[in-house]
Structure 1
Amino acid sequence: MRITVEGVNEGQPIPGPFAFAVPDPKEHMSLSDNRNPKVVWDGVPEGTRGFALLVVDPDAPTDASDVNQDGKTVPADLPRADFYHWVLVDIPADVRQIDEGEDADGVVPRGKEIGQTAKGIRGANDYTDFLAGDPDMKGVYGGYDGPCPPWNDERLHHYTFTVYALDVTSLGLSGESRGPQVVEAMQGHILDQASVTGTYTLNPNV
């Protein structure tokens, strides 16, 4: 399989319009266009009955106590964990692309709906947890929401877009499906997969 994420090149910075936030010299960061990039895939193996799409950042801090705090930094050697930015499952077998802005176009306070769309079933991304303590932003964040690493993080973050070709039409997930649930449900059903990884930081010193 092959995947193309327009504007996202392997190992290169992700453009600001695809991010949740961009650097701001006065406020450290400001909200961005938060548009999903166009994703196209081909070279699909025989027997494919559906697809899943995940975007994951493996560089999320495991301790958020110093995140976005003036006078502090998040050290590069702090243990990290996966943060899922896009969870889309049960994509029909005849779909080969998701257009720019089709799943996300702007930051939506309190999130976007999960559930059925024309291109599959939206699960919940990890902003659902990250923003749970913010009374103005908390909610269930469905579909795509772009990069917003801590502006004081010493580590460059990586964002891997992966399309999976599956031998089932449905993973049987319902409700607020999350990235790890999708990974578990796909085991034994993956015929092929393709990925591309871009980078992003809000720290001007990284």
Structure 2
Amino acid sequence: MPANLTVTIDSWENGQAIPGRFAFGVPATEGHVALSDNKNPEIQWSGAPAGTKSFALICSDPDVPSSGDDVNQEGKTVPADLPRVDFYHWVVSDIPADRTSISEGEDCDGITPKGKTPGEKPYGITGLNNYTDWFAGDDDMGGNYGGYDGPCPPWNDSIVHHYHFTVYALDIETTQLKGNFGGPDLLAAMEGHILAQGEHVGTYSLNPAVSY
């Protein structure tokens, strides 16, 4: 079993609500959803074991509906018992071993229609998040969404969504991933190389009927 890495996001307590500035969408005064600041939160980690040669970061939401039939439909509610799937919001590989944080807004500060180009950054190599799939075919928003884009769960979902910000300490300097890789690609590339890992969880909902 991997050792424990201490992962901290000071902007909210572990397991508590994510502030709106880190979200893609916030509740609207008219209608259901308004676009938000969409900043990546500052994330810090410590306690990497000897032999750590790089880090990786994944933020995923495992509470996304497996079927979009009822999603954001007037007069309907996404049922709680609907099977759920992962939605990746942030995928970063090859974070240098001497890095212990990514600053607020360093990877994302605002919504970029048609997405942001993934690739090499000072803090690692960003992959694609699942807004790439969500906006596919949309004339105004379709494109490759690299790096971070924050929460925007269905406004009619009956459950709270949980966002797992997980940092991994690896025994390799590079996963060899380039180009348009996603969360599952990074998970596969890290297999057998994880020395330690830790996470900080946040919750979010756009449904006024859901308390969290």
1:80 aligns with 2:84: yes
Q: Which runs of 5 or more structure 1 residues have no equivalent in the other structure?
A: none
SS at 2:33's partner residue?
A: strand
1:198 aligns with 2:211: no
Per-residue displacement from partner, 1:108-139 (whole Å, max 9, x unpaired)? Answer: 00000101001000100000001113210000
Identity %: 58
Instruction: Quote the residue 1:26 is aligned against.
Output: 30
C-alpha distance in structure 1 between counterparts of 2:130 and 2:72, whole Å: 18
Give the letter for the 1:28 counterpart.
H
C-alpha distance in structure 2 between counterparts of 1:118 and 1:174, whole Å: 15
Instruction: Quote the residue 2:146 is aligned against.
Output: 142
C-alpha distance in structure 1 between counterparts of 2:12 and 2:19, whole Å: 7
Could you tell me how far 1:196 is from its partner in structure 2? 1.1
Q: Which runs of 5 or more structure 2 residues have no equivalent in the other structure?
A: none
SS at 1:181's partner residue?
A: helix
Instruction: Quote the residue 2:180 is aligned against.
Output: 176
Instruction: Quote the residue 1:125 is aligned against.
Output: 129
- 66 and 133 in structure 1: CA distance in 2 versus 1, 3 angstrom threshold: farther
Q: 2:58 aligns with which of 48, 54, 68?
A: 54
Per-residue displacement from partner, 1:137-191 (whole Å, max 9, x unpaired)? Answer: 0000000000000000001100000000000010011110100111111010000
C-alpha distance in structure 2 between counterparts of 1:105 and 1:160, whole Å: 20
Instruction: Quote the residue 2:71 is aligned against.
Output: 67
Q: 4+ runs of 1 displaced by more than 3 Å?
A: none
C-alpha distance in structure 2 between counterparts of 1:69 and 1:116, whole Å: 38
C-alpha distance in structure 1 between counterparts of 2:10 and 2:147, whole Å: 18
Q: Give the conservation status (yes or no) of the 8 Å contact 1:154–1:203.
A: yes
RMSD (CA atoms): 0.7
C-alpha distance in structure 2 between counterparts of 1:134 and 1:26, whole Å: 23
Could you tell me how far 1:25 is from its partner in structure 2? 3.4
C-alpha distance in structure 2 between counterparts of 1:68 and 1:133, whole Å: 18
Instruction: Quote the residue 2:164 is aligned against.
Output: 160
SS at 1:30's partner residue?
A: strand
Could you tell me how far 1:63 is from its partner in structure 2? 0.4
Give the letter for the 1:197 counterpart.
V
Question: What TM-score do the two structures reach when normalised by structure 1?
Answer: 0.98
Q: Give the conservation status (yes or no) of the 8 Å contact 1:8–1:197.
A: no
Q: Give the conservation status (yes or no) of the 8 Å contact 1:114–1:176.
A: yes
SS at 1:184's partner residue?
A: helix
Q: Which moved more, 1:183-192 or 1:129-138?
A: 129-138
Number of residues paired by the alignment?
Answer: 206
